[in-house]
Amino acid sequence: MNFQPLGNRVLVKRVEEATTTMSGIIIPDNAKEKPSRGEVVAVSKEVETLANGNQVLFGKYAGNEVSFDGTVYIVLDVDDIFGIIG
């Protein structure tokens, strides 16, 4: 995949959340919420605060989903990212 975001945008791959709770309760697929964390896989030249590999938190309904080679990514505006994890 070769994708270069433009403007103040980044390409993020969602990080899947656990399917069971700490007490062992299994969460069914229809009850799961979309995770609001992901890994940055591409950064536009204008963005200096993020780098590939950063783990980030973002708004639940932020960005636009795109698919490359069967993998779903999200194109996010930097303003939609709350912060870097870790």
Domain of residue 60 covers 9-85
Strand ordering across the sheet containing 71-77 = 64-68, 71-77, 9-14, 37-43, 55-58, 81-85
Note whether residue 30 is domain-resident. Answer: yes
2 within a domain of the structure (yes/no)? no
Domain assignment of residue 49, yes or no:
yes
Cα–Cα distance, 50 to 54 (Å, whole number): 7
Does residue 4 sit within a domain? Answer: no
Domain with residue 17: its CATH number is 2.30.33.40
Residue 16, domain member (yes or no): yes
Q: Can you tell me the mean pLDDT for 30-35? A: 58
For residue range 15-32, list pLDDT tens digits in order: 876 566 677 777 665 555
pTM score, whole prediction: 0.79
